[in-house]
């Protein structure tokens, strides 16, 4: 937002003592407030829009407060805690003709855009399947509240992979969900798998392992002519052509191609990362939000209410099916 000409960041709000003031000093913002409710912030009449990056349990209430004050809202994922909350805040924003959006950012990352371009150009050929794989190391830096959510970290992080699957495969119809409880008894499962049908007979799967020794997120698009792989964390895209007979030369070609693409894009994405300019598509999210406020109704489509509710519905369907599987 600070880098965008579309925004003038007025101030920052947090409920913890001294945090908003500290951030305001660091960033040079002219306003700050320590508050639990937006109505308690005296300077909020100076702003047109509010962004929400609080814990997920606070999202619905903060959205409702912002809408009641006539503010456009961009919230972090997961959208809300229940489908009822999600539908309620969408109706409230629509009733006041306010823009409501969710941070579904990785669909605009450089790597994902390259995959989408290859699909549109026919480089992968006819799409046959889509897989999303999440490996999560429980020792990595995580928010303090994550295991208080339903299915813990799954609820917080699965929106990213679900909206990527939806972007590639269209509307997803859940067919099956399986879950293995975490060995430490956490709300976060050890592993959860979800299987979907997509239009045109394409199969899609989501596999999340939350007890992994490494953390990796990958999305793979399988085509008749080749395989496209998005390495989400590193913002790297690999295209590997069909290896046909899988003989020695073709296997070597795949190895050399994958290695060369991987290390070259470490440089392409690594330099912006070191310079604090690797935003993983967030620049597109904020540009679209600003454009929608300015009157471009099409800008909001991939991050608007339909996207937010579509992903939220999938999350709850997966959890409901998984609970049924555990009860059998």
What structural domains and CATH numbers belong to the chain? Answer: 11-104+282-300 (3.40.50.720), 106-279+317-321 (3.30.360.10)
Q: How far apart (Å, rounded) are the C-alpha atoms in residues 265 and 103?
A: 25
Please give the chain's pLDDT, 328 residues, in tens.
999 999 999 999 999 999 999 999 999 999 999 999 999 999 999 999 999 999 999 999 999 999 999 999 999 999 999 999 999 999 999 999 999 999 999 999 999 999 999 999 999 999 999 999 999 999 999 999 999 999 999 999 999 999 999 999 999 999 999 999 998 888 999 999 999 999 888 999 999 999 999 999 999 999 999 999 999 999 999 999 999 999 999 999 999 999 999 999 999 999 999 998 999 999 999 999 999 999 998 999 999 999 999 999 999 999 999 988 887 7
pTM of the model: 0.96
* Per-residue pLDDT at 201: 87
* Per-residue pLDDT at 83: 98
CB 217 within 8 A of CB 109: no
Q: Is the link from the previous residue into 78 a cis peptide, with omega within 30 of 0?
A: yes
Length of the chain measured in residues: 328
* Per-residue pLDDT at 91: 98
CB 78 within 8 A of CB 155: yes
Pairing of strands 31-34, 11-14: parallel
* Per-residue pLDDT at 327: 77
* Per-residue pLDDT at 28: 97
Pairing of strands 191-197, 203-209: antiparallel
| Angle, CA of 117, 119 and 120, to the nearest 5° | 65
Helical spans, DSSP H, in the chain: 19-27, 59-68, 83-95, 110-121, 153-169, 248-274, 282-293, 305-327
């Amino acid at each position: 937002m600070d880098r965008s000409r579309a925004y003038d960041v007025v101030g920052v709000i947090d409920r913890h003592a001294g945090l908003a003031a500290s951030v305001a000093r660091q960033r040079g913002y002219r306003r700050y407030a320590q508050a639990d409710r937006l109505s308690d912030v005296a300077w909020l009449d100076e702003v047109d829009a509010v962004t929400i990056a609080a814990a997920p349990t606070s999202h619905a209430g903060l959205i409702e407060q912002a809408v009641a004050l006539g503010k456009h809202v961009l919230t972090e994922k997961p959208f809300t805690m229940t489908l009822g909350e999600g539908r309620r805040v969408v109706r409230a924003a629509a009733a006041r003709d306010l823009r409501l959006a969710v941070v579904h950012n990785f669909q605009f990352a450089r790597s994902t855009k390259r995959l989408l371009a290859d699909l549109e150009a026919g480089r992968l050929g006819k799409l046959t399947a889509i897989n999303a794989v999440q490996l999560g190391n429980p020792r990595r830096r995580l928010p303090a509240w994550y295991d208080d959510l339903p299915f813990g970290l799954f609820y917080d992080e699965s929106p990213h992979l679900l909206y990527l699957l939806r972007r590639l495969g269209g509307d997803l119809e859940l067919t099956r969900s399986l879950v293995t409880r975490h060995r430490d008894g956490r709300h976060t499962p050890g592993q959860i798998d979800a299987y979907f049908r997509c239009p045109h007979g394409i199969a899609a799967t989501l596999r999340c392992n939350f007890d992994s020794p490494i953390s990796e997120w990958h999305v793979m698009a399988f085509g008749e002519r080749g395989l496209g792989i998005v390495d989400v964390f590193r913002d790297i895209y690999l295209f590997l052509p069909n290896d046909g007979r899988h003989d020695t030369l073709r296997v070597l070609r795949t190895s050399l191609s994958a290695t060369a693409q991987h290390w070259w894009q470490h440089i392409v994405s690594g330099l912006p990362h070191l310079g604090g300019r690797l935003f993983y598509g967030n620049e597109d999210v904020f540009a679209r939000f600003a454009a929608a406020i300015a009157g471009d109704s099409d800008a909001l489509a991939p991050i608007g209410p339909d996207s937010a509710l579509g992903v939220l519905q999938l999350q709850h369907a997966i959890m409901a099916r998984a609970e049924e599987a555990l009860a059998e």
